Amino acid sequence: MRARLQAWPAAALRVCVALLALAALPVHAQPAAPSPLRSATSEPAGLPELIARAKPSVVLVGTYNDLASPRFGFRGTGFAVGQGHSIVTNAHVLPPPEEVPAPQLVVQVKTAAGDWEVRRVLQTSLDRPNDLALLEIAGPALRPLALKTQATAEGTDIAFIGFPLGGALGFSHVTHRGIISAITPVALPAPSSQALNSRNLSQLRSGSFDMLQLDATAYPGNSGGPVFDLRSGEVLGVINMVLLKNTKESVLNQPSGISYAIPIEHVQRLLQR
């Protein structure tokens, strides 16, 4: 069967996990924002050091409902940028706009004590043609990740951090590594009349744009996670899609080993807006 390219929402694989009762935190007076996370020198930081330093900046994105079980509904990965109150993720990670009543959008951040802490999302900015969302969150600033400003080259060694398969792995940060195998134009396949939605229409109008093709396997739950340049420790892209051999389920038992990421310059434009 012919392989096809398809963006998978984090909700493609829903798992029920028992969580402790969590309450959204009030907005506190904000301390000075932490400086962006980057390597201390121009030499490679080393993957273990990069993982340890980046994990507190990589968060769970989902919804919160006091009456639901579990109360937190995981939808995807995000990471801190800017002054530490902004979280980047994929637009397709967010609940559909037609969902009524609108669920409470939240992120969960890992505290120094190792606990997950719920933060309310106060404001959302969307770039639907590039499938990006910027979430402004309550509470103290996180340490923002540094964004790569130089052009990315094919063959660059990369790693990405996220929450593959959601709660099936206990909401633990998981790291994969690989290389940028190609920088190639990608457009959504022509949707059927049953599949048309606002994102499809925006993408079709704007046409294709260059994506980072990764020689690495991403899974449902990785959507919205940061892709790092292993040499500089900077974020060069945002995990977005995986190439499917057959059906969505085949990503688990027949992974293609090919994933796609949105180049970081689209995030920088969204931040400037």
Q: Tell me what pLDDT residue 38 has.
A: 53
My answer on whether 126 and 183 are in the same domain is: no
Phi, psi (degrees; rounded to nearest 5) at 55: -55, -45
Q: Tell me what pLDDT residue 254 has.
A: 52
Phi, psi (degrees; rounded to nearest 5) at 49: -70, -40
- Give the other-Cβ count within 10 Å of 36's Cβ: 18
My answer on whether 218 and 262 are in the same domain is: yes
Q: Tell me what pLDDT residue 220 has.
A: 87
Condensed to tens digits (0 to 9), the pLDDT of residues 58-116 reads: 999 999 998 888 899 999 999 999 999 999 999 999 998 888 688 899 999 999 999 99
Condensed to tens digits (0 to 9), the pLDDT of residues 146-160 reads: 999 999 999 999 999
Q: Tell me what pLDDT residue 170 has.
A: 80
The reply to whether 16 falls in a domain is: yes
**Distance separating alpha carbons of residues 207 and 211, to the nearest angstrom:** 13
Write the CATH number for 227.
2.40.10.10
Q: Tell me what pLDDT residue 187 has.
A: 62
The alpha carbon of residue 186 and the mean position of all alpha carbons in its chain are separated, in whole angstroms, by 19
My answer on whether 94 and 205 are in the same domain is: no
Q: Tell me what pLDDT residue 242 has.
A: 76
> Could you say which of 116, 137, 158 is where a domain stops?
137
Condensed to tens digits (0 to 9), the pLDDT of residues 215-271 reads: 998 988 999 999 999 999 999 999 998 765 445 555 555 556 789 999 999 999 999
The reply to whether 142 falls in a domain is: no
Q: Which domain holds residue 20?
A: 11-137
Phi, psi (degrees; rounded to nearest 5) at 56: -65, -15
My answer on whether 170 and 113 are in the same domain is: no
My answer on whether 168 and 244 are in the same domain is: yes
> Could you say which of 88, 104, 137 is where a domain stops?
137
My answer on whether 155 and 236 are in the same domain is: yes
Mean pLDDT, range 180-198, rounded to an integer: 66
My answer on whether 126 and 40 are in the same domain is: yes
Condensed to tens digits (0 to 9), the pLDDT of residues 131-146 reads: 999 999 999 999 999 9
My answer on whether 40 and 157 are in the same domain is: no
Give the closest residue to 22 by CA, choosing from 65, 76, 56.
65
My answer on whether 257 and 165 are in the same domain is: yes
> Could you say which of 114, 137, 160 is where a domain stops?
137
Number of domains in the chain: 2
My answer on whether 223 and 183 are in the same domain is: yes
- Give the pTM: 0.77
My answer on whether 268 and 152 are in the same domain is: yes
